[in-house]
Amino acid sequence: MKVFVIGANGKVAHHFADFAKEDNSIEEIAMIRKAEQAGFFEERGIQTVLLDLVKNSIDELAEAMKDVDAVIFSAGAGGSGLDKTILIDLDGAVKAMTAAEQAGVKRFVMVSTFRTGREEMAKENDLQIYTIAKNYADEWLKNRTQLDWTIVHPGMLVDTAGTDQIKVGMGQDINEIPRQDVARTLISVLHNDNTINKEFEVLTGDTAVEEAVSKL
């Protein structure tokens, strides 16, 4: 399975790369924005593609996705400004979806924020614009594409070692989850077609990742 990862240089995606390297059924193609980011992937024998989600066109993204089986969207503005949040977390996501459909890719896995919806968007806090952007990107994926989508809503991301124990569902009280366990969850999503056209929140829990995902 060829998997095209957008936002490959992020912390969750770095863990994903390590898991993908160990998984003989997954061949990652990492989309990076800067040439100096390639070393991490070259050490792991992972192919890189140098593209900028904001600056490059849909056609250029689609060309890079040729012969790909799945796309993971794990990109984010990361607090670099409201304009970048809209350009990456919303418009960039839509560009990626459009490119995937243009390239004939069916499977699209979105790493979203923990909770979206109108109630969350109405909350006036530092994450309001980010939440709005993620909400509408998710809605576009579900309602404006023909992609086989999955939307993963992680809790508060932490850099502690993963436990391989999670809980999944919607409407949970927010709590933490190691980025490593989010990455492991993404691997499991790719291996489980029962996750197609589903979205779920993922937090640290007491069920093995593979078991939790397979029961969705």
Structure confidence at residue 133 (pLDDT):
94
Cα 48 from chain centre: 17
DSSP state for residue 205 in the 8-state scheme: -
Structure confidence at residue 105 (pLDDT):
98
Region 28-46 average pLDDT: 97
- Please give the structure tokens belonging to residue 27: 């061949």
Catalytic annotation on 130? yes
pTM surpassing 0.75?
yes
CATH number of the domain enclosing 167:
3.40.50.720
Q: Which residues contact 158 (CB under 8 A, 6 or more apart)?
A: 176, 177, 178, 179
Active-site position among 16, 73, 130, 200: 130
Task: List the domain range (segments joined by +) for residue 89.
Answer: 2-214
Structural element, H or E, at residue 70: strand 70-73
Structure confidence at residue 82 (pLDDT):
83
Structure confidence at residue 6 (pLDDT):
98
- What do you get for the CA distance between the two ends of the chain, in Å? 22
* Closest alpha carbon to 135 in 79, 85, 176, 194: 85
Q: How many folded domains does the chain comprise?
A: 1
Separation of alpha carbons 54 and 37, rounded Å:
17
Task: Please answer whether residues 73 and 7 qualify as being in contact, where contact means their C-beta atoms are separated by less than 8 angstroms.
Answer: yes
Q: What is the pLDDT of residues 61-120, one digit of tens each?
A: 999 999 999 999 999 988 777 889 999 999 999 999 999 999 999 999 999 999 887 788
Identify the bridge partners of residue 176 per DSSP, sorted by sequence position.
Answer: 156
